[in-house]
């Protein structure tokens, strides 16, 4: 159902500061009490960045970060200084929140062969020597330790550029990454080391790699550092041929996607031609638990599934219980798809923080086992590199179109979808299907990123909620879709506000028995990427203020300045 569009109020600075106003600002700044007034870091945005800069100069405030990608400065201000700025400019002010990486509790290391490439059908690409060459994958994370499988490709040639340290604004040829999260995730995407059968461990082992460090040794970062990292990726995308940006972190949404500074930077990256792949988050299985930036409708958001420790038997494959679920507050279907994210084996030096915190998960050499949507995101990033190596002409929208239109949905014994579209999206990613696809113009077709960024139009997705608190989808022809992966009932409640997952037993995570149909694979072609006329579900509709699925009074982010964003949600191994 289409809702009326609205013209969002642009971020503007009222008029041009006159000499009189400048004098007032200068006077007020000199009279602000410095005693007992603690500084806080904020992101300030204005349509005319030079006017904002002049205002800060009048206050004798020097920005800590210049974030040109979103016309913003990060600055440390006292509450009195912030009040002065608000009086003389219509600036958008957002707290420079802390962000932590989405992680997992690791379990005892298993000497299991890496089977990820088989699960996602990437071995077919490897068999024709498509290892991702000619594409650079950027990882915005805790850094990138240049172990052998990361430093060199399968032929022993150098493939890693180094790391840009967005925290300290400098480049590093060799990053002594301390946390380990970035190294682990990047190795899942691009580890060139071979398993005991002589097959590459990583999905795209010949793709070039570059690290962008925006999180410290504790896995914590700020919006300012993350946005500066995205800005750097966009600036050097042509120089380094950065085609895909991996963002394996997730924070709670604090505003509509279009108002969030981090999401604005992500949209800029997508618009520039970089495919952005982000984790859904580890806050599942409750509905509406997708985090930032995974709630961004343009990008590719990844949930996690597990082979249940039986790689040769797909009948017990299932979604991980921690994988975050949609829809987003604006009504978009998320995650877009799922990938392996349970008990993932990747590179991690023994002297990193993660290895020291969880020694039981380390093999004593350089491999470590973790679970999370972070790891699933690394898988999809590797697949994107394979796709772009095969066809460099693909746009970000083309890549998303082919991934979603070829994914395989999970079915139950009753030949119905085993999971809601808000849990599995299009289904399990299929690398070879996406590489072989010729689909175009079937993703983001109802969205206009330029208008979105300009603030002239924003969008809502196809998800709605009825009076009973159940979510449903509006199809491209305007009809309500049910029993086909949306609000199928099965005699139980589904997707209510309180987080109840359907089915009379109250849970679908049934260990010790299959929930899948027949003896073949549960991830089948013909899922619910219903691309009638080429569109993968209805991408979005012009949005008005009442068009989202929150009830009146449902917002939890009344004042974005006061909300922290912390994302260190650890989950058990699956």
Give the residue numbers annotated as catalytic, written as ranges. Answer: 141, 181, 374
Q: Which residue has the tokens 């929150």?
A: 550
Coil, strand or helix at 153 = coil
Q: How many CB atoms lie within 10 A of CB 14?
A: 11
Token look-up 């009825």 returns 466
Nearest residue to 265 (alpha-carbon basis) of 50, 54, 94 = 94
Half-sphere exposure of 117 (CA within 13 A, CB side): 29
What's the Rg (C-alpha) of the chain? 23
Give the count of beta carbons closer than 10 Å to the beta carbon of residue 196: 8
Cα–Cα distance between 435 and 399 in angstroms, integer? 9
How far lies 281's CA from each of 188, 223, 301, 316, 341, in Å? 18, 17, 9, 23, 11
Listed in order, strand segments (DSSP E) in 248-325 are: 275-279, 300-306, 318-319
**DSSP 8-state assignment for residue 182:** H
Q: Phi-psi category of 573—alpha, beta or left, where left has phi over 0 and alpha has psi -120 to 50?
A: beta
The token duo for 97 is 């929140």
∠183-187-191 over CA atoms, to 5°? 140
Half-sphere exposure of 498 (CA within 13 A, CB side): 5
User: What gap in Å lies between CA 263 and CA 279, rounded to an integer?
Assistant: 14
Q: Tell me how far CA of residue 46 lies from CA of 68, 89, 216, 223, in angstroms.
A: 11, 9, 29, 17
Q: Tell me the torsion sign for CA atoms 448, 384, 163, 342.
A: positive
Contact (Cβ atoms closer than 8 angstroms) between residue 231 and residue 69: yes
Question: DSSP letters along 368-436, please?
Answer: EEE-SHHHHHHHHHHHHHHHHHH-TT--HHHHHHHHHHH-BEEBBTTSSBSS-HHHHTT-B--HHHHHH
* Helix/strand/coil percentages in the chain, nearest 5: 25, 20, 55
Which string of DSSP letters, residue by residue, matches 303-321?
EEEE-TT-TT-GGG-EE-T
């Amino acid at each position: 159902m289409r809702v009326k569009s609205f013209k969002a109020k642009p971020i503007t600075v009222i008029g041009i500061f006159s000499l009189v106003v400048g004098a007032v600002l200068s006077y007020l700044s000199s009279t602000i009490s410095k005693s007992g007034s603690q500084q806080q870091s904020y992101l300030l945005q204005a349509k005319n960045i030079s006017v904002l800069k002049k205002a800060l100069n009048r206050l004798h405030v020097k920005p800590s970060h210049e974030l040109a990608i979103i016309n913003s400065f990060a600055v440390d201000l006292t509450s009195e200084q912030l009040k002065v700025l608000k009086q003389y400019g219509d600036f958008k002010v957002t707290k420079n929140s802390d962000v932590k990486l989405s992680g997992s509790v690791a379990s005892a290391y298993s000497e299991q062969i890496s089977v990820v490439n088989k699960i996602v059908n990437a071995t077919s690409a490897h068999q024709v020597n498509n290892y991702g060459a000619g594409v650079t994958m950027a990882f915005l994370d805790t850094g990138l330790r240049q172990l052998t499988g990361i430093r060199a490709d399968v032929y022993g040639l150098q493939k890693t550029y180094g790391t840009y340290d967005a925290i300290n604004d400098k480049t590093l040829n060799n990053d002594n990454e301390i946390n380990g999260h970035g190294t682990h995730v990047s190795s899942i995407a691009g580890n060139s080391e071979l398993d005991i059968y002589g097959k590459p461990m990583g999905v795209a082992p010949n793709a070039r790699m570059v690290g962008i460090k925006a999180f410290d040794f504790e896995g914590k970062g700020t919006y300012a550092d993350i946005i500066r990292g995205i800005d750097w990726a966009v600036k050097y995308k042509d120089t380094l041929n950065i085609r895909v940006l991996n963002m394996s972190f997730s924070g709670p949404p604090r505003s509509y996607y279009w108002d969030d500074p981090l999401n604005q930077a992500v949209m800029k990256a997508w618009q520039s031609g970089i495919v952005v792949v982000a984790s859904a988050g580890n806050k599942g299985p409750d509905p509406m638990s997708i985090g930032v930036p995974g709630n961004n409708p343009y990008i590719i958001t990844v949930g996690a599934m597990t082979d249940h420790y039986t790689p040769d038997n797909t009948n017990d494959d299932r979604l991980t219980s921690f994988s975050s679920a949609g829809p987003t507050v604006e009504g978009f279907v998320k995650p877009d798809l799922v990938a392996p994210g349970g008990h993932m084996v990747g590179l991690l030096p023994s002297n990193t923080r993660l290895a020291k915190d969880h020694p039981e998960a380390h093999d004593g050499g350089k491999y470590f086992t973790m679970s999370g949507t972070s790891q699933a995101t690394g898988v999809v990033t590797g697949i994107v590199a394979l796709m772009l190596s095969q066809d460099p002409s693909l746009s970000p929208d083309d890549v998303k179109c082919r991934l979603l239109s070829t994914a395989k949905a999970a079915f139950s014994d009753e030949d119905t979808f085993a999971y809601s579209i808000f849990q599995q999206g299009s289904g399990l990613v299929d690398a070879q299907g996406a590489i072989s696809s010729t689909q175009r113009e079937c993703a983001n077709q109802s969205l206009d990123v330029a208008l979105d960024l300009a603030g002239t139009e924003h969008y809502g997705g196809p998800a709605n909620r009825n009076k009973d608190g159940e979510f449903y989808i509006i199809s491209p022809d305007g009809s309500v879709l049910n029993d086909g992966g949306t609000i199928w009932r099965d005699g139980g409640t589904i997707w209510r506000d309180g987080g109840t997952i359907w089915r009379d037993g109250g849970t679908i995570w049934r260990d010790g028995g299959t929930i899948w149909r027949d003896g073949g694979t549960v991830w089948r072609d013909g899922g619910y990427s219903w691309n009638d006329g080429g569109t993968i579900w209805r991408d979005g509709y012009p949005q008005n203020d009442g068009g989202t699925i929150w009830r009146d009074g449902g917002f939890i982010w009344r004042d974005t300045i006061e909300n922290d964003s912390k994302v260190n949600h650890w989950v058990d191994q699956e």
